[in-house]
Amino acid sequence: MGLFILEFAVAPLLTTSLGDFGSSFIFLPIWALATVMILLIKHHNLTPRMGIVRLRLTRQVRLFRLSIALLIALVFFFITGTLALMEMNASIVLRTIFMVAMALIIFSVAAHVLQQNRLFLYGCMVALAPILGEWLWVNLGVVHHGYPLTFGIACLTIITTGITKFILFLKRYTIPVEGME
């Protein structure tokens, strides 16, 4: 999640040199590399500690509901966002409200379905980022609507929390030594 939000912080800075498409496209290899790293970490660090986990039927149903809810939310926001932003005169307020609503709904649905309360906090941070960014831009003249600063702080918070939780997991659950039970 942190790497996804990092795009909102870095892409505005790259727009002048790479254009709108290029500044977003550059994140595809970053996400691919992150996916490979996550799979390697899972294979080498998590699987030896936890073994192979099979989700109970209730957890599978919960994840399926999450997928459906997120698909509906994303389709809704894609359609309404496309229609709203097709107006070349779409105000900054309309775009900001759209981003805030999208962040709150998507993170809230994920937090509820996965029963991970910190996702509510992440959703609030991501929802506040464009509001604070616009305020910083209007009142203090911060560049790029303040997005690099506000989304950067949200991104760093999410990534730092994830790394901290991972390190604590590694310390708590050591790799079992073969032959010992």
Give a yes or no: residue 13 inside a domain: yes
Residue 86 lies in a domain: yes
Our measurement of the distance from residue 50's CA atom to the centroid of its chain's CA atoms, rounded to an integer in Å, reads 25
| 181: in domain | no
Is residue 177 one of the residues assigned to a domain? no
178 within domain boundaries: no
One-letter amino acid for residue 60 of the chain: Q
Q: Which domain holds residue 111?
A: 2-172
Q: Is residue 179 part of a domain?
A: no
User: What's the CA gap between 152 and 172, in Å, rounded?
Assistant: 30
pLDDT in tens, the chain (181 residues): 888 888 888 888 887 787 766 777 788 888 889 889 888 888 877 776 666 667 678 877 877 887 888 788 777 877 776 666 666 556 767 777 777 888 888 888 788 777 888 999 999 999 999 889 888 988 988 888 888 899 999 999 999 999 999 889 888 877 766 655 5
Distance CA 27, CA 132 (A): 24
- Its pTM stands at 0.70
Question: Nearest-CA neighbor of 17 among 26, 5, 6?
Answer: 26
- Identify the DSSP state of 145: G
> Does 88 fall in a domain?
yes
The predicted-structure confidence for 116-140, as pLDDT tens digits, reads as follows 889 999 999 999 998 898 889 889 8
Alpha-carbon span 123 to 128, nearest angstrom:
8
Q: Is residue 147 part of a domain?
A: yes
Q: HSE-up of 157 (CA within 13 Å, CB side)?
A: 16
